[in-house]
Structures are given as structure tokens and as C-alpha cells.
Amino acid sequence: MTTPPLLEVETLTKHFPVGGGLFRGPSGAVQAVTDVSFSLKPGETLAIVGESGCGKSTTGRALLRLLEPTSGRVVLNGEEITGLAPSQLRAARRHMQMIFQDPFGSLNPRMTVRETLLEPVLLHGVASGNRASKWVETLLSTVGLSAHHADRYPHEFSGGQRQRICIARALSTRPKLIVCDEAVSALDVSVQAQIVNLLQDLQREFGMAYVFISHDLSVVRHISDRVAVMYLGRIVEEAPVDEIFARPRHPYTRMLLEAAPKPEPGLARREGAAQGDTPSALKPPSGCAFHPRCPLATEVCKTTRPEETVIGAARVACHHIGAATERVSAERPWPPALAARLKVLAEARTKTVA
């Protein structure tokens, strides 16, 4: 029996008007997110990756209506979030929470940890009185902190401890969905590993689904089940994580993987890699937005936006997903050292799942 999706996102769009003045309307719009669609099952992790400015964080905030979408639908557990009135939205937020990138900036410096964790518990009626206090202690214990930490302020903790507090706050309402917006990018590598392992343990225990927004491909490889690659506000490729790393089909996905630092002395950059910077979201290129940087670009790429092609469990938006992409993959295979490393990672993940 197929498990119904917990989250369904259909053509989600968020544009920011710019220009204009007191007596004039906007002169344009920053197309931060355009026609983004995906679904997420209970207990599943979808990673969203891409360069800075591609729309990852805007997508995460629009999902929870921290930013009001320009258009599109978001359905959580059968309820359409985008159509809820403010009072209904407050009730729905019990089931969807967010972990922000900056663990210090997202905590109120004038509130103790106890006050920070009690606020959503009392607001959503999760517990009250002595039960609420016990719930706070349970939350702290769950994320690896002690009860005596409850009466301290955010500035008294390290970065990793503050992120644990943010995770405890996100868990306080026992949500079904958590959006992790660069949740480990501000932390040291050793602390990153602790937080990622904590998130995975909590997911196994409580069955939550994650939308994991990140630019760190090693973390994405470790934590995610599926990966959605964004470029200039659109998803250009989505596939299971092993498939993305072993067989990237979109030229932009391949560029991201090739750009990741590799601990191989003398490993030269291959010819044909994408060049240049991301165009402005205020005036995206015509046709395929990636064509000014793409080594496979032809005339059709400059004039016609590619439709999504479904290949097994993957979906890709590229005019040259067929023979041309296969030819480039054959002509420019992964370096032997990197291919071997990816194989080891895949085997380790298979053993862990088993």
C-alpha cells in the first residue's frame, strides 16, 4: 500500500515587487521562487540544494507562510495551508516548525531557555502547569541538554548548544514537518556531525519529515532521502540521493558536484564545466535560465523553457537530458578517486539502512 504524502507543494511561486514609489506601482519583481512542486512522505527527508540566491530559503519560508506565497498551493496532511485564515494558520503551525540558520539570532536574548520553550507549548495547548514544566525538561533531555540549562539565557551557551535549543523549540509541539534552513552551516564540523546525528535520531523516534535546506553536499549526502536541485528559483532536477550523486543528469547538478572541494592533490578541473555567475532574478534569461553558463547549450535552450522529463524516480528539466547528456557523461566520467569515494559512501549508507 502506497503511503500518502504528508506535504504536497504545487507550483509554489514567490515574487518580490521592486521599484515604484508613492504614486507609482512596482516597476518589476524579483522572481525568487517560480513554479516549485514536490511532495514529501512522513519520515522522509528532502534536501534542497543550490547556489546562494537560488531561492532555497525563500521556498522554506513560503512553505510555512512566514512569507506569503504569490501563488501556488501547499497541502500539509490533507489541509491546504495557503488558504487558511490567520486564526486557522496559528493552529496549523503546531504541525509545522522551522529551525533557522542562525541559532543566536533566532532566539530572544531576553528570554530564558525555559521561557523560550514554554511559549509554543502554552500557545498551542500542548501542556500546562506542572506538565508544561516537565515537558520542557523532557525536551532539553531529548536534545542532549540538562534541566539546569533551562534558566540560562542564549548568550550563556555555545553555538552547538544554542542550535540544540532551537531544535528543542521546533520539537516542542511534536510537529509532523520541520523545515531546516541551513541548520548546521554556522557550526563547527564536529558540532555539525552531532546535530545531524541528533536530527536523524529524532526523525527515527518521532517519524517527522524534514525539508533540509543546505549548500553542504556532504551533509546532504548523509541525511537526505531525496534531493531537489534549484537554480534561479526553479527546481531543475529531483531524484533519490544516491542517484543524484552517482548519476547527475542536469548540467547544473553536475556543476555543483564538480565544484565541491575534493581532497585529491593535483585533481584538475575538467574542461566543459559551467562558467560565470548566476544571472539576476530580476531579469532571468529567456528559455532555460541556465543556458548562459551551460556547456551543452544550443539555440533551443535560449528560446524555449524545458519541460520536466521523468526518468524512473528522477525528474529533470533539460532539453539535452537524452543522448547529449549521456555522451557528455561518457566523455567526462568522474575522476577515479572521486568515483571510488562515492562508491564507498553509497555502500556505507546501504549497510546503515539495512
Listing DSSP states for 17-62 in one string gives EE---SSS--SEEEEEEEEEEEEE-TT-EEEEE-STTSSHHHHHHH
Q: 129-181: per-residue pLDDT in tens?
A: 899 999 999 999 999 899 999 999 999 999 889 999 999 999 999 999 999 99
If one compares 200 and 275, the residue with the highest pLDDT of the two is 200
Residue with cell 546535530: 195
**pTM surpassing 0.95?**
no
The Cα 45–Cα 200 span in angstroms is 10
pLDDT at 262: 64
If one compares 333 and 207, the residue with the highest pLDDT of the two is 207
Residue 110 has pLDDT above 90, yes or no: yes
Residue 75 has pLDDT above 90, yes or no: yes
Weakest mean pLDDT among 135-139, 198-202, 264-268: 264-268
Task: Tell me the average pLDDT across 331-345.
Answer: 47
pLDDT at 266: 60
Q: What is the mean pLDDT of the chain?
A: 85
On whether the CB atoms of residues 143 and 175 are closer than 8 A, the answer is no
Task: Tell me the average pLDDT across 35-50.
Answer: 95
> What are the residue boundaries of the structural domains of the chain, listed by start?
7-224, 248-259+284-353
pLDDT at 150: 93
Residue by residue, DSSP assigns 68-111 as --SEEEEEETTEEGGG--HHHHHHHGGGEEEE-S-TTTTS-TTS
The CATH homologous superfamily for domain 7-224 is P-loop containing nucleotide triphosphate hydrolases (3.40.50.300)
The Cα 164–Cα 97 span in angstroms is 14
Weakest mean pLDDT among 186-200, 238-252, 296-310: 186-200
Residue with cell 524579483: 30
Q: Shortest CA distance to 291 belongs to which of 320, 260, 259?
A: 320
Model confidence band, residue 353 (pLDDT cutoffs 50, 70, 90) = very low
